[in-house]
Chain A
Amino acid sequence: MMKLLKQPISIAILIIIVLLFIGEFLSPGFASSSQILRLLVVSALLGIVAAGQNLVILGGKEGIDLSVGGVISLAAIVGGNIMDGNNIGIVPAILGCLAVGAFFGALNGLGVTLLRIPPLVMTLGMLGVLQGLLIVVRQGIPSGLAAPALSSFVSQPQILGLPGLLWLWVGIGIFMAFLLRKTVFGYRVYAIGSNENVAKMSGVPVKLIRVLLFVLSGMLSAMAGLCILGYTGSSFANVGDQYMLASVIAVVLGGTPLSGGKGGYTGTMAGAIILIILQSILTTLSIDESGRQLIFGTALVVLLFFYGRAKGLRT
């Protein structure tokens, strides 16, 4: 029982329950089922981004993807322009977005593996490129609209009263669990994350795996960008910025340390929910922006105390 309680995922679920109680206490109706559904939809948007972030971080070697925000914003614009409010455009929009995400993910991966640029630096540089590209794209063409079907997929109940987006998130959760626990690829990700040299000597194609991780991260961010477009209706400036470090925090709160090699996606899903509930509680309170940020930052510090603290030097 104690062992179960010490698992990051158990801590995360416990925190979610506590936060829901606090929310209900502070503003009655906070934990009503419709409200929880809305919270889950917003969490799914962050959770999908965090899936890619999680993969890159699991691969170790200071893996991190700071370009997710740029990819999200770009995908939202590209998707919006392809669809332009028509349901016919959905499939081309999805394909277009995934191609954009895969392209920039591949560039990140190639820079990190072939040129051996540290991931933080490579993706930071890529973020600058993407932000510049966004200005070019936005001034050249009007920002498009989400197709009605996409919007209802994201926020309207579809199957068993749940929006399609939640099913997509559950699907991604199952996909991630399968990928990481049941496939050769997954085992190799953990292998290069915990010790790259040993993995290399055991015949794991380290570079290929790492490039694929960045490609997957790009594609998942792009997918999230499309869903965010569906949530907001039309794309607006730098919609993805807020997801950059939030996705990293969600991964860490879910029990995957930034050093990589251990952890998984189930925890990250819980981490994303924690972040969103926390933010949501603060929005319902009638305090100004400064107080909200103060509490949010402090709460994050406190939450971090529960997770993934580095090992002491006295071992």
Chain B
Amino acid sequence: MNISYRSYFSRFPFFPALIILVVVFVLNGIAEPNSLKILSIKGLISTYLALMFLAVAQTVVVYAGDIDLSVGAILGLVNVSVVALIEAFSGTPYIIVIASAVGIGIGILCGVLNGLLVARFRLQAIVATFATSIVFAGVALSIMPVAGVPAPAEFWRSYAGKILGIPFVFYIFIMLLVVAFFVARTKIILQLLCVGDDKVAAYQTGLPVTSVRIKGYAICGFFSALAALCIIGDTASGDPNVGSAMTLNSIAAVVLGGTALSGGKGNLIGSILGSLIIGLVGSLVFFVGTPSQWQNFVLGLSILGALMIGIFVSRRLQ
């Protein structure tokens, strides 16, 4: 491998993810030319925007060598909280904004709780966040026992609508990319990466390791809450179980994006691309005409294959 490729890779660690994404995108276009139309891409982005936010959330804690199995549960809790609040106070636009803000607050609070348990009380991240995910799911169920309370029309109409002829979700997507780009350059992200690279060294250098990790979980909760707002826009309703299947996908997206689960290296843009890969692989399996009962199997194999290729290529390039 040429040395210039390596330096290129160190500057753009999401490179393998980008290549996989382009390949899958082109394959989609070959299998179903309609999938390249703006309308199809809009559909893809509005469905997978929530996963992108969730993957970014997951990436932040993975940076520090931690993991959060409760992101899906936080998403579900914020989802029902916001919808229930809007419903309770009859959804004027004013209320919608306040409810969304409260939802984000709840997300951050959940994150801080995770952070306290894992960083301050040193519980093992996998089991502790799994336990809190059960708690969050319980709270979500008590707020809204059954799915299907509708969200106000203003909410999903603006999510599915257009501004200046461009779909609203495209703005959010671009904004997410920009935010990820700038967040990646903040001090806290650098500190999280240091903690993930070597906790003891970070501690000895004088980094407040515990509070850095708690902040990581808080940021994770923040982005999970944003993911919940996207889900409300996409599904137009409240559902306490909506996030349960998304946690594992968020981890897959993080790995596809070139972030190491061991912590210390990775990037946020890659996780966004990883989410899109998961979405596009799903539609590709459909477009190539896989018989319906085989679709999930082929999808599972493809995701496993993509994970392997991603990890293999990243290792070769580093």
Contact = CB atoms under 8 A, between A and B. Distances in A.
Contacts of B200: 313
B47 interface: no
Nearest to B285: A132
B107 to A, nearest CB: 17
B139 A294 contact: yes
A120 interface: yes
B124 A257 contact: yes
Nearest to B294: A136
A140 B293 CA distance: 9
- Size class of A's contact patch? 35 or more
A248 interface: yes
B44 interface: no
Interface in A84-124: 111, 115-118, 120-122, 124
Given A133-B297, A289-B141, A121 B311 contact: yes
A294 B134 CA distance: 7
A290 B142 contact: yes
Given A258-B126, A300-B131, A301-B131, A293 B138 contact: yes
A227 interface: no
Contacts of B123: 301, 304-305, 309-310
Given A121-B311, A309-B121, A312-B122, A126 B142 contact: no
Contact of A130 (B121, B140, B209, B300): B300
A265 to B, nearest CB: 18
A129 B315 CA distance: 24
A308 B311 CA distance: 30
A118 B128 CA distance: 20
A249 B123 CA distance: 12
Contacts of B140: 290
A207 B298 CA distance: 29
* 4 tightest Cβ-Cβ pairs between the two chains A and B: A132-B297, A293-B138, A297-B134, A297-B135
Interface of B: 67, 69, 117, 121-124, 126-128, 130-142, 145, 199-200, 203, 209, 248, 251-252, 255, 261-262, 293-301, 303-304, 307-308, 311-312, 315
15 contacts: A117-B311, A118-B262, A125-B300, A125-B303, A126-B304, A129-B304, A130-B300, A132-B294, A245-B69, A248-B130, A252-B124, A288-B142, A300-B130, A301-B117, A304-B124
